Chain A
Amino acid sequence: MKRLLVALALVLSACSAGGQDGPTTITFWDNNGGPGRTPIYEELIKRFEAANPNIKVEYVGIPSSSVQQKYDTAIAGGSTPDVGGVTTSYLAHLVGQDALEPLDERLESGPLKGKLLPGLLETVRQTAMDGKLYAAPASGNLDVIWYRSDLFAEQKIAVPDTWDQLVDAAAKLTKPADNKYGFTIRGGAGSVFQLLAEAYSYSGVDKFYDGGKSTVSDPRNAELVSKIAGIYKKSTPEADVNNNYTQMVAQFTGGTVAMMHHNLGSTADVMKALGAQKVSAMPLPKGPSGKRTVVPNPTDGFAVFKGSKNPDASWKFVEFLTSAESNGYWNEKVGQIPANTDVRGAEWIQKNPAVKMALGVLEDPATMLVPAPVYLPEYSSITKTDTEPLYQKVLLGQMSAQQFLDELAAKLTTAQQEWEKRK
């Protein structure tokens, strides 16, 4: 018996000693694994491990289409990673499941203090009911319209500044007999997200809620939705009603379509297929008000999970990823807006017209931001499951734009009221 105890003690001490001396391993889940981004992280991890020989980072790339399911399963099963890539579009779900570590104190007491764009910090904080920071923002994004600059130049069409000009340009660029269309609508998965950005850029309505009521149903928003529905099948391919991102990009890079609304995140996909001579980005056009209103695109960032056994090492890695050098490297590669303000002066930003343009829009004092209520637990279910099919009905002429927006607004209003009550 005594010998057994001694042996046990030995084993235990060996274990704990091993834990202190050997390298700590943390897992990192990339929420956008794939040929575009995996190599970037591999390089950054190599650099991090060189600088921190005591910490090993295990990279896991999750396909973006399954990342929410993967997180949900991991949280329910109690097997979360240490660090995970997240975007504000589903950050509220993770916070709601009490899965994340608040990062405010760590951020304030470290070298990143005051270095991250206040606007992005704000969008991250908004997703949590307690107003805490549950992810370190790494990258900002902006809705843009990718357009075929070569076709515009060829046909001497000016780059549109207003939605009406865009509609005209789309009509001019359309030649159904040659299978050429001016514009492509995202009618399938992810449609309403993009439609809202379009609607507010047109209407100039500068608040998402007015007196607790959703402004989505504003008649000026409906005007834009009708306009888009009006060009469906006329200046856009018929396929658009079911278009998800993959199909939309196939049409644009396949050369059928001259303009595509997406965001900076697709830079790599678009540039790889078409090249910088053929494609450029413009901001979403304005409406008759002439005001520039922008519904901010979800912010990418890194979260530390509560289940982490090594929160310090995890934070260290997050800090490293958001440091000026790594953050600059990452955003240069993917073509998005760096969250770290020290990167602002970097040379590559001047050389990347899309990022430069986006920064111009976001830093313009005249630009008004209309953040979507991604903090609502029901937000994605309302804008996806509930209303994406309705938008398709609008495109197919089975429902009016106003009716559709009224339904959407009613759901958003109810959800907001419930949220206010809980708050």
Chain B
Amino acid sequence: MTQTLSRQETPVSPPPPAPPRRKKHRDPSRFFRLYLPLVLYLLFTLIPFYWMLVFAFRPAGETTLLPWPITFEHFDTVWNDIGFGLFFQNSLLIALGTLVTVTVFAVMGGYALARFKFRGQRVFLLALLCTQFIPGAMMLIPLFVIFKNVGLLNSLTGLIIADTAFQLPLALILMSGFVRNVPVELEEAAMVDGCSRLRAFFAVTLPQLRPALVAVGSFAFIGAWNNFLFALMFASRQDKFTLPVGLSYALGEFNTDFGALAAGGVVAAVPVVLVFAVVQRFLVQGLSAGAVKG
């Protein structure tokens, strides 16, 4: 059973959910329902990025639509004068740490919510939601005091914990929805075959959750990657700051430098976009039709 499943997940380009395509026939409706909206949306997405690229590669004060003559001075500014190298490294470590902790805890808690009925379940769900009702800025001072008392100021670990605490409720709720979508019969069948519940989970359910792991994990990663407030408030050392802090340097009164902002933006955005490009291929069907009947 396990083997059949894992073979079926190999990411061959999967059948889309709107299946009966008229193969080898050019379908004119595809232009209107697929390509046209896609191109329009891509334009909407890409124009702001293009603006950023232009400002990043164009000398300050120029107004041309093409970044010509091309310059790397802004990258020099962000890398050497602002110290983006270190910020980059910090952001990466924090985001990866948060990704791991959030995803693991979210799968655990999401599984509990989806597969068990237990006392306090509704209260727990509501409490999770409640944590999202208050803007971070209002909790800053009490949080700061807690962090100081447990010795987590000025440390990347502290920031990972802070980001995890804030992102976990959301991730957990989302994950519970995904777990609920995996037919419980699959797990039961595996358990009948003699698997323990834990093994059944790892062998059967977890592989089905791959799209969910990508979605929830990328949310956690990006949330931490982009967190500005905690990064600035819970660290008071230059070598612990992160990319968003570095970016806000370029937007200050007396320090407005659009070229540096855009160049810093390129540095901050490109790796994440590339990671997306890689992980998006896991956003495909893990389960083929036959397996459901298990």
Which A residues fall within an 8 A CB radius of B? Answer: 27, 29, 32-39, 58-66, 69-70, 72-74, 76-79, 81, 190, 245-246, 249-250, 253-255, 265-266, 268-269, 272-275, 334
- 21 A-B residue pairs with CB within 8 Å: A27-B236, A32-B255, A33-B255, A34-B82, A34-B249, A36-B255, A37-B254, A60-B237, A62-B232, A63-B251, A63-B252, A64-B252, A69-B233, A72-B141, A245-B256, A246-B251, A250-B256, A253-B61, A272-B60, A275-B61, A334-B254
Whether B251 and A76, one on each chain, are in contact in the complex, defined by CB atoms closer than 8 angstroms, is no
Q: Report if A73-B141 is in contact (Cβ < 8 Å); known contacts: A59-B238, A65-B253, A269-B255.
A: yes
How far does the Cβ of B41 sit from chain A's closest Cβ, in whole Å? 27
Query: Are B82 and A35 in contact, CB atoms less than 8 angstroms apart?
Result: yes
User: 9 closest Cβ contacts across the A-B interface?
Assistant: A34-B255, A64-B252, A34-B249, A63-B248, A273-B61, A77-B144, A265-B254, A36-B255, A76-B141
Chain B 52-68 against A: per-residue CB contact (8 Å), 1 yes, 0 no?
00000000110100000
Query: CA–CA, A256 to B232, complex, Å?
Result: 35
Contacting residues, chain A, for B144 (C-beta < 8 A): 73, 76-77, 79
Query: B254's contact among A29, A58, A266, A274, by CB below 8 Å, is which?
Result: A266
Q: Which residues of B contact A27 (CB under 8 A)?
A: 236
Does B43 sit at the interface, judged by CB under 8 A? Answer: no
Residues on A with beta carbons closer than 8 Å to the beta carbon of B137: 69
C-alpha gap A55/B167 in the complex (Å): 41
Given A34-B254, A73-B233: 9 more A-B contacts, CB < 8 Å:
A27-B236, A35-B257, A64-B254, A64-B255, A72-B141, A245-B256, A250-B256, A269-B254, A273-B61
Please state if A70 and B232 are interface contacts (CB–CB under 8 Å): yes
- Contact call A64/B253, Cβ cutoff below 8 A: yes
Check B193 for interface membership: any CB of A closer than 8 A: no
| A77 in contact with B252 (CB, 8 Å) | no
Residue of A whose beta carbon sits closest to that of B83 = A38
B253 to A190, Cβ gap below 8 A? yes
Closest chain A residue, CB of each to CB of B82: A35
Whether B238 contacts A34 by the Cβ 8 Å rule is: no
Give the shortest distance, in Å, between B82 (CB) and chain A (any CB).
5
Q: Are A32 and B148 in contact (CB under 8 A)?
A: no
Q: How far is the CA of A59 from the CA of B78 in the complex (A)?
A: 17
CB distance from A81 to the nearest CB of B (A): 7
> Which A residues are CB-close (under 8 A) to B255?
32-37, 64, 269
Q: Counting CB contacts under 8 A, is B27 at the interface?
A: no
Residues of B within 8 A of A81 (CB): 236
Q: Which residues of A lie under 8 Å from residue B78 when comparing CB positions?
A: 35
B211-256 interface (Cβ within 8 A of A): 232-233, 236-238, 245, 248-256
Q: A66–B248 Cα gap in the complex (Å)?
A: 9
Q: Verify A60–B236 contact, CB threshold 8 A.
A: yes
Contact B153 A79, beta carbon cutoff 8 Å: yes
Chain A residues within 8 Å of B260, by CB: 35
Decide: B81 and A35 in contact? CB cutoff 8 A.
yes
A273 close to B60 (CB less than 8 A): yes
- Pick from A33, A74, A254, A255 the residue with the most CB of B within 10 Å: A33
Contact check, B232 vs A255: say whether CB atoms are below 8 A apart.
no
Which residue of chain B has its CB nearest to the CB of A266? B254
Nearest A residue (CB) for B248: A63
Residues of B within 8 A of A64 (CB): 252-255
Find residues 137-182 in chain B having any chain A CB closer than 8 Å to their own CB.
137, 140-141, 144-145, 148, 153
Q: How far is the CA of A83 from the CA of B163 in the complex (A)?
A: 29
Are A265 and B249 in contact, with the CB atoms below 8 A?
Answer: no
- How far does the alpha carbon of A79 sit from the alpha carbon of B153 in the complex, in Å? 10
Question: Contact: B81 with A249, CB < 8 Å?
Answer: no
Cα separation A266 to B254 with both chains bound (whole Å): 5
How distant is B197 from chain A, measured CB to nearest CB, in Å? 45
- Chain B residues near A268 (CB-CB < 8 A): 254
B131 within 8 A of A: no
Could you say which residues of chain A place their CB within 8 Å of the CB of B77?
A: 35
Q: Which of B63, B236, B253, B256 contacts A255 (CB 8 A)?
A: B63
Give A190's nearest chain B residue, CB to CB.
B253
